[in-house]
Structure 1
């Protein structure tokens, strides 16, 4: 089964996914596949520049990544359910990509907006946007809305998981239990 797990920057998705990897799940990052292709085509030099690519280029690269994941039988796809761009929110998995991937489950990982704000402020390893807590709350709401739409389009379940500070392992356990229940 292909499981899509998304969360906004700073939600702690990488940490939670680390626990899933430790439990033997194969996890691959949608953005890594997109980045490889975008660099290969000369569109960007690093991951953070991808949000600033023209919309047509973003959609092209998404399609290529979707085709890559469609060939995987069992994988957890680490991605963003929505991407905040200069021209507004972009679906992380538009309809054509969902049809290519055919996920069996969608997971939206969330955290307290204030905690995300602090995590972003303290992360000097990435070029992060300086969003307010309200902006962060709005982005998580967009993720929920996109996640619900993806679930309806794909005919799969949507699981919303809270990742509280210091409780990433608990969040991973909830996800693992839901995957096993399928």
Structure 2
């Protein structure tokens, strides 16, 4: 079922946490912030929206790095109910798409909850002070291939954040599969 996150809560402070990466090591989210910003992307392996944008997310991460903006991806889906989102499958997904950024596992879902993540993909763009400036889509393609003239919403927003410290006021929310929450015990 498709889900849409709320609009950007400008100035909201990013939350740090240590999570296991697909490289097997523990990583702090803030370790991947660049001097001009950080994108925290909640993604998963099985969602058709994520599969459709994975290569463009890698492209945007590579294009944002010289602008001083880092990126980290986090999978919080319940892997028991959705085995395709297991840690082992995360490792394969990151390798298959040649992720140039860390892909972290939020096994207890506490980070996704602290961010208020709603769907995959759900993009949070922070400035150099780790204040939220963008919460929108990667581009208009959704779960379809992007045409050559498709505007790169995430890239353009984070380029503006890198240059000015502030994100665009006009933002289009991301859309994707709902996060697969674990049943409460």
TM-score normalised to structure 2 length:
0.32
TM-score w.r.t. length of structure 1: 0.32
